């Protein structure tokens, strides 16, 4: 792995760690509770980011431009029925590990075709693995911030205070 890819992956791991700190000790009843005017919940964020890790890892490793299962499924922003905090966290950690393994085997400059987007039929964009990693970092950091606000609104827990 190149030093650049390692640096991006290190930043992504830190953003993931902050999200996991934010969701630590969240009761199963809280994981689907809305605490702001946003429809987002901690469970929805965990589910969405898990799906994001899986989708982008598939795109990185498949390299055929096929649309991964669930890529356009908008229910990914909600926790599945009956989801538990532990189950959502475990699924996220497993998806993150698979991404890390795929990145370790990838060339950051390798261009991969993206799936055709419904709003751009017939257009296939290509991104280098580096851009996919940066996209995952951006998504994770953004949603970790959302999760922090949701958590603090739920029970006053502060990710910053719990970082250690």
Cβ count within 10 A of residue 103: 23
What is the band of 160 on the pLDDT scale with cuts at 50, 70, 90? confident
pLDDT of 15 > 80? The answer is yes
**What is the percent of the chain with per-residue pLDDT over 90, rounded to a whole number?**
76
Query: DSSP per residue over 77-118, as a string?
Result: GSPPTT--HHHHHHHHHHHHHHHHHHHHTS-TT-EEEPPPPT
**What is the C-alpha separation between 96 and 16, in angstroms, rounded?**
8
In this predicted model, which residue has the larger pLDDT, 80 or 64? Answer: 80
**What is the C-alpha separation between 150 and 34, in angstroms, rounded?**
8
Per-state percent for the chain, helix, strand, coil, to nearest 5: 60, 5, 40
Return the SS3 of 57: helix
Return the SS3 of 114: coil
Strand partners, 127: 112
What is the band of 158 on the pLDDT scale with cuts at 50, 70, 90? confident
**What is the C-alpha separation between 164 and 154, in angstroms, rounded?**
21
Averaged pLDDT for residues 88-108: 96
What is the band of 109 on the pLDDT scale with cuts at 50, 70, 90? very high
Averaged pLDDT for residues 79-104: 96
Region of poorest pLDDT, from 50-54, 74-78, 117-121: 117-121
What is the per-residue pLDDT for 122?
87
Can you give the C-alpha Rg of the chain in angstroms? Answer: 16
What is the per-residue pLDDT for 32?
94
**What is the C-alpha separation between 121 and 138, in angstroms, rounded?**
26
């Amino acid at each position: 792995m190149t030093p650049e890819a390692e640096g991006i992956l290190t930043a992504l791991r830190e953003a993931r760690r902050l999200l996991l700190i934010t969701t630590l000790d969240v009761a199963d009843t809280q994981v689907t509770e809305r605490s702001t005017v946003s429809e987002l919940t901690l469970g929805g964020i965990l589910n969405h980011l898990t799906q994001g890790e899986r989708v982008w890892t598939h795109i990185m490793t498949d390299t055929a431009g096929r649309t991964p299962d669930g890529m356009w499924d908008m229910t990914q922003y909600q926790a599945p029925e009956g989801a538990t905090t532990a189950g959502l966290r475990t699924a996220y950690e497993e998806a993150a590990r698979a991404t890390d393994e795929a990145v370790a085997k990838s060339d950051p400059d390798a261009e991969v075709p993206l799936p055709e987007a419904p709003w751009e039929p017939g257009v296939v964009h290509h991104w280098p693995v580096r851009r996919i990693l940066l996209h995952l970092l951006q998504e994770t950091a953004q949603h970790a911030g959302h999760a922090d606000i949701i958590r603090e609104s739920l029970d006053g827990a502060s990710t910053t205070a719990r970082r250690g």
